[in-house]
Amino acid sequence: MKLYNTLTRATETLAPLTAQQVTMYTCGPTVYDYAHIGHWYTYVRWDMLVRTLKISGFTPNWVMNITDVGHLVSDADDGEDKLEKGARREGKSAWEVAEFYTSDFLEGMHLLNITAPDMLTKATEHIAEQIAMIKVLEAKGYTYIIDDGVYYDTTKFEGYANFARLDLDDLQAGARVEFNTQKRNVSDFALWKFSPIDSEQQRDMQWDSPWSPPGTSAGSRKGFPGWHIECSAMAMKYLGETIDIHAGGIDHIQIHHTNEIAQSEAVTGKRFANIWLHSNHVMVEGEKISKSLGNGVRIQDLLERGIPAGAIRLHILESNYRSQSKFSTDGLVAATQRLSGYRAMAARGWQCVTDGGLSPKELLNYQQDMLHALQDDLNTPKVLFELSALETAIDIDGINIECQKAFFAFISWLKQALGIELLVNDIPEELRAMIIERERARSNKDWAKSDRLRDELSGQGITVKDTASGTIWHWQ
C-alpha cells in the first residue's frame, strides 16, 4: 500500500513497525461548535484509510482525540480558548459546550457510517500526561516561562523548520505588531497557559500545575494545556513513541503538526510518526468555508433535506484527499443519481442472464483494479471510475448466472471498502408477479394497465425499466 508522506514529500510504501499492525493517530474535532462539511471530508477520508488498511490485510489501531480545552481562536497562541468562547456564546459552561458538541460530532460519525476509532481520547482526561511531558521538556532545557505561560523554545529543536519547510527569518520579519514580546521567537508556542488573573474566576476549565508566572509563588496560579501538547501526549500514551501514520488537515502542517513533532521528538529522541498524511481544503459552491458566509453545512441538515448518507460519501470520494475539493448542491444531486445507478446495478444480481453477461473473471478484474486504486494513495476517484465502468457493462449485458454468488460477495466487499450500502434484497413474489403482469399488459398494448402497475410498483419502492431484452427492476 502506497501513501504520500508529507514528511518526505514522496509517495512511499507503508511498512508498519509491527508486521501487519498499523498504529494511527488522527487529529479530531475541537468541540466548541458544529462540525461542518469541510471537517466531514477529512473524517471520511481517514475512514477510507482505515477501510483500505483492513481490506488490505492490515489491523489498524486508530486513536482520535477530542480537543475539549486549550485550542485558541488562532492556531498559534493568540486569543481566547475556543471552548470558553463557545461557553460565553451559549450561556453554558465550557464543560456543557464540550459535551453537547462531542455528542453532535459522534452522531455525525454514525450518520456518515464512519468507522468508530478504536479509541477516542479527550484532552481534559489527560492533563496529568500532558504535565508529565512538559516536565520532561523542562528538564531537558526546551522551555521557558513568561507571564502567560510555559513556552517551547523552537530554536532548541534542530530542524524545527523542516517539516513545513518554514522560512523562520521570514516568519520573524512578518510577525504581527501584537506579537507577544516576551516570546523569544515568533515560532515559539505555549505548552501550558496560565489562566489570566482577571478571568481566573470565570474560566471553567483549569488545573493546578507545577508552574506559575514569574514573581508568583509556585503552584499559585491555575492553568490549562496548549493544544499541541494534547495530541503528542495522547498519541504517545496509546500508540507508543513512534507511530506508523499521523493524519490531519492540511492547515495543521505549519503550526500544529510542526509543534507536535518538536515536542514529541525532543522528549523521546525518536521519530514521532513515520508517515504524515494531510487532507486538502474543501470549497463550498466555489467559496472557502467561513463563518461569515455561513456555508459550513452540517451533515444533519443535508440528511434532513433527503440526501442519502451514501450520496454524501460518494460526493466526497469523487475527489482525491490531496487535491482541493469542490462541494456543491449540483454535486450532491449528481452523487444521488450515481448512488441510485449503483443500486440499480446491485439489483441486477437478482436478474441474472444465462447467455453472456458479466463473468466471474471479468468481475474479479474490476475488483482488483478498485483495490489497487485504493492502495495507491487512496485514489477514490479512480475507484468510482471503475465502478461506473462496471455499472455500464452490467447495464448493457447483465450478469451471468454463474457470476451471481461472486457478484453479491463483491457488493458486500464494496460496503466494507467504501462504507456505502447498495441494497441487494430480492423482491417478494407478489411484486415479481406484478412485473410479469405488467410485461404482459405491455405486449398486449394495454398501456393504461401497464402504467397503473408501474405506479403500484413504484408505491412499493420498485422502479421498472424497459429494455430491449425485457423489463428490469431495482429498488428506489
Alpha carbon distance, N-terminus to C-terminus of the chain: 36
Q: Where are the beta strands (DSSP E) in 133-281?
A: 143-146, 149-152, 189-194, 223-225, 243-249, 273-279
> 345-365 as b/e, with b when 16 or more CB fall inside 10 Å?
bbbbbbbbbeeebbebebbee
DSSP assignment of 246-272 equals: EEEEGGGIIIIIHHHHHHHHHHHSS-S
Smallest distance, Å, CB 417 to Zn ion?
27
* CA angle, 393 then 417 then 232, to 5°: 150
Residue 72 interacts with Zn ion (CB under 5 A)? Answer: no
Smallest distance, Å, CB 25 to Zn ion?
8
Smallest distance, Å, CB 327 to Zn ion?
24
Whichever of 40 and 407 has its CB closer to Zn ion, that residue is: 40
Whichever of 27 and 299 has its CB closer to Zn ion, that residue is: 27
Stretch in the footprint of Zn ion (CB under 5 A) among 27-35, 48-56, 365-373, 412-420: 27-35
Measured CA to CA, the distance from residue 427 to residue 1 in angstroms comes to 39
Whichever of 249 and 419 has its CB closer to Zn ion, that residue is: 249
Residue 462 interacts with Zn ion (CB under 5 A)? Answer: no
The number of C-alpha atoms within 13 Å of 358 and in the hemisphere containing its C-beta is 30
Smallest distance, Å, CB 89 to Zn ion?
24
Nearest Cα to Cα of residue 123 among 52, 58, 65? 65
Residue 378 interacts with Zn ion (CB under 5 A)? Answer: no
Smallest distance, Å, CB 383 to Zn ion?
28
Smallest distance, Å, CB 324 to Zn ion?
21
Residue 231 interacts with Zn ion (CB under 5 A)? Answer: yes
Residue 35 interacts with Zn ion (CB under 5 A)? Answer: no
Smallest distance, Å, CB 268 to Zn ion?
17
Smallest distance, Å, CB 320 to Zn ion?
22
Whichever of 160 and 272 has its CB closer to Zn ion, that residue is: 272
Q: Which of 1, 22, 27, 48 binds Zn ion (CB under 5 A)?
A: 27
- Rounded (10°) CA dihedral 343, 347, 349, 354: -130
Smallest distance, Å, CB 70 to Zn ion?
11
Stretch in the footprint of Zn ion (CB under 5 A) among 212-220, 229-237, 399-407, 408-416: 229-237
288 — alpha (psi -120 to 50), left (phi > 0) or beta?
beta
- Number of chain positions touching Zn ion (CB under 5 A): 2
C-alpha to C-alpha distances, 264 to 70, 140, 142, 242, nearest whole angstrom: 18, 12, 12, 9
Stretch in the footprint of Zn ion (CB under 5 A) among 24-32, 34-42, 182-190, 324-332: 24-32
Whichever of 27 and 472 has its CB closer to Zn ion, that residue is: 27
Stretch in the footprint of Zn ion (CB under 5 A) among 39-47, 224-232, 350-358, 425-433: 224-232
C-alpha to C-alpha distances, 47 to 64, 114, 247, 333, 449, nearest whole angstrom: 11, 6, 11, 23, 48
What is the footprint of Zn ion within residues 388-417 (CB under 5 A)? Answer: none
The grid coordinates of residue 326 equal 469542490
Whichever of 234 and 462 has its CB closer to Zn ion, that residue is: 234
169 sits in which H/E element: helix 168-173
What is the footprint of Zn ion within residues 202-221 (CB under 5 A)? Answer: none
Whichever of 71 and 454 has its CB closer to Zn ion, that residue is: 71
Residue 229 interacts with Zn ion (CB under 5 A)? Answer: no
Contact (CB, 8 A) for 351 and 432? no
Smallest distance, Å, CB 136 to Zn ion?
19
Amino acid identity of 445? K
Nearest Cα to Cα of residue 189 among 223, 236, 142? 142
473 sits in which H/E element: strand 470-475
Stretch in the footprint of Zn ion (CB under 5 A) among 226-234, 311-319, 435-443, 454-462: 226-234
Residue 233 interacts with Zn ion (CB under 5 A)? Answer: no
Could you list the residues that contact Zn ion (CB under 5 A)?
27, 231
